[in-house]
Structure 1
């Protein structure tokens, strides 16, 4: 090969390589965010998060939202996060108990006075970093913790006082503290997957459920229950869970943008969710449901029944992370109570 041809070949190869590297560098990064709800504060948070990440990365990270479990049922999405085939999953941390049972600590009943007290407590600097690290050794990074709603009861029969719980079968999550939370009221807790609650009420397998009035309203609960009792005995948190496999492939700058954005938007999400509750109460009433609250005396009795359950279940739990985190959260709740 002549010297001229050799120079031409080297130059051509260099140009081709440059174009190849430029193409890789400029390629958009896919970020799929899945979650089980839709048309609710969690959906609003996901949409806002995706838009903000796109803006902060100048379009380098292209986020897409997949509501109503479009990416699969909750266990499958959690597994996909661990494997790296899904980038983000937004949901209550209780769904990650299969990863670490200590995620249920945030669901402790009777500890928080109101929505923002719960939000401040879970974001207390003594608690939040430890709680967020619970999935790290299982391939999950948590960033962004906020309050979705307080728990309410939806039932086929009116619940206006604690005595009305006696003999009822109430759908709960499959945890000891969930079952005890209704047992202390005289009801029986029945663990049922959320998507099966409405047909279970129709078939009279259960008389009602304990969950967020927001998510229940969006899930057609008012079609089978015409009694809503707002108790707020515990508050339902949400987290932003990301795949460590995916995060490890990002540049340091992009990784920080993803995690910081999720965290920074948590205050907005909690406030947005709190304001959303009033709208949903109006929708429940519009559907014909009777909306009830306990009297002050009944509410005091209700909270006094719930408050000891955290100590009973968590203080001597076999999970070391639960034993470690629970007293920290209790202390944070005391500090963050500004009443």
Structure 2
């Protein structure tokens, strides 16, 4: 018997289901393509959860936005109509503004610091507010997404090359304002329209981690990869609080344990995938450009206080981040 968690709870309450034999099915949505490491890692979690719960809990993985785009799935988590979502915690800024912060360029020194910050007391307090105010629980946020780089139809070698560059950005204020302040023509565009937009010349550039760009074949329509390492994000594994509360304590513990067990392997694979993607792009004739990252970092960090004011990050979060800069 396969039941969603809400239906299962109701059926058990009226005695229609033997709780020993019941199977709880949780659908897990991602926007990433099937070959992306987040999808592969999610399947590993599903396999491990099945082991730890003796088949009581089954996670079904739905990549490539089959359950909707990120904003749709997050809204579903809040309403309890979507059970789980695996994706960048940055999207949570739609509910709690401080979560937008990884979308601010060069706010973290490197991936390790980004990961540590996401596991800090500051982010835990953000998570607590998310549960209380919006019914979304972040079970873990220690899966690296890899540094974001530019892929462009014309070479971008210096900060000055950003002037007037038509760059696709997520429809998130942090990204938009960063690039506007740098003189770029920031163009908010849904991810689902970005490939076509780049192909048709509506935009000249987009930016993501190299493995994501390669996996989605952006190198086939834009032949310049500029390695700026301008954003570091973490993937979060999120669940509807309604769904979470319908699990037994043992089942909750099993799900969280499985997610954390996979984290180290996941992060190793991210680094491998990025290196392989960049090697393949170079072999396929893509122009790979390395920049003076320290100069870019200095330039964008000079605008950080302005971004804080525009987006509305909390003063304490901004001060904590700046204190860690190097």
Q: TM-score, normalised by structure 1?
A: 0.83
Could you say if the C-alpha distance between residues 131 and 271 of structure 1 is closer, same or farther in structure 2, counting changes exceeding 3 Å? Answer: farther
Q: What's the offset of the Cα at 1:190?
A: 0.8
Provide, for residues 258-300 of structure 1, a one-character-per-residue CA deviation record: whole Å limited to 9, x for no partner: 2343244334323321222101112222332111111xxx322
1:157-211 C-alpha deviation (Å, 9 max, x unpaired):
1112222222211111223331233234432211111111111112211111122
The match for 2:123 is 128
Q: Supply the distance in 2 between the matched residues of 1:318 and 1:168 (Cα, whole angstroms).
A: 26
Is contact 1:119–1:147 with CA below 8 Å preserved after alignment? yes
Report the equivalent of 2:21.
26
- Other-structure match for 1:236: 233
**Aligned residue-pair number:** 310
Match of 1:289 among 283, 286, 290: 286
Separation in 2 of the partners of 1:176 and 1:53? 37
Q: What are the superposed Cα offsets for residues 212-269 of structure 1, whole Å, 9 maximum, x if unpaired? A: 2221222221121010001102213211110111111111111122234324433432
Name the residue aligned to 2:183: 186
2:56 is matched with which residue: 50, 60, 79?
60
SS of match in other structure, 1:127: helix
Closer/same/farther in 2, CA of residues 330 and 126 from structure 1, 3 Å limit: farther
Which deviations, in whole Å up to 9, do the C-alpha atoms of 1:23-48 show, x marking residues without a partner?
23321111111100121121122111
Partner of 1:47: 43
* Backbone CA RMSD of aligned residues: 2.3
Q: Which runs of 5+ in 1 are unaligned?
A: 1-16
Which residue number corresponds to residue 7 of structure 1? Answer: none
Residues 5-20 of structure 1: matches in 2 within 5 Å?
A: none
CA drift at 1:315:
5.7
- Segments of 5+ residues of structure 2 without an aligned counterpart are 1-11
Question: How far does residue 116 in structure 1 lie from its aligned partner after superposition?
Answer: 2.2
Q: What's 1:156 paired with?
A: 153
Is residue 167 from structure 1 mapped to residue 174 from structure 2 by the alignment? no
Structure 1 distance, partners of 2:290, 2:71, is: 35
Is the 1:115–1:149 contact (alpha carbons within 8 Å) kept by the matching residues of 2? yes
Please give the secondary structure, in 2, of the residue aligned with 1:109. Answer: coil
Name the structure 2 match of 1:13: none
Per the TM alignment, residue 22 of structure 1 is displaced from its structure 2 partner at its CA by 7.3
- 1:126·1:328 contact (CA, 8 Å) conserved in 2? no
Q: Which moved more, 1:267-276 or 1:132-141?
A: 267-276
Specify the alignment match of 1:119 in structure 2.
115
Measure, in 1, the Cα distance between the counterparts of 2:135 and 2:80. Answer: 8
C-alpha contact 1:54 1:62 (8 A) present in aligned 2: yes
**Structure 2 CA distance for aligned equivalents of residues 278 and 36 of structure 1:** 22
Q: 1:201 aligns with which of 194, 198, 201?
A: 198
Deviates more, 1:27-36 or 1:310-319: 310-319
Using structure 2 for the length normalisation, give the TM-score.
0.87
**Which stretch shows the higher mean deviation, 108-117 or 272-281?**
108-117
Q: Give, in whole Å, the separation in 2 of the partners of 1:308 and 1:103.
A: 21
Find the residue that maps to 1:153 and give its secondary structure.
strand
Change (3 A) 1:281 1:70: same
Q: Post-superposition shift, 1:324? A: 4.0
Q: Is the CA contact 2:179–2:185 (under 8 Å) kept in the aligned structure 1?
A: yes
Tell me if structure 2 keeps the 8 A contact 1:177–1:309.
no
Asked if 1:279 is matched to 2:276, the reply is yes
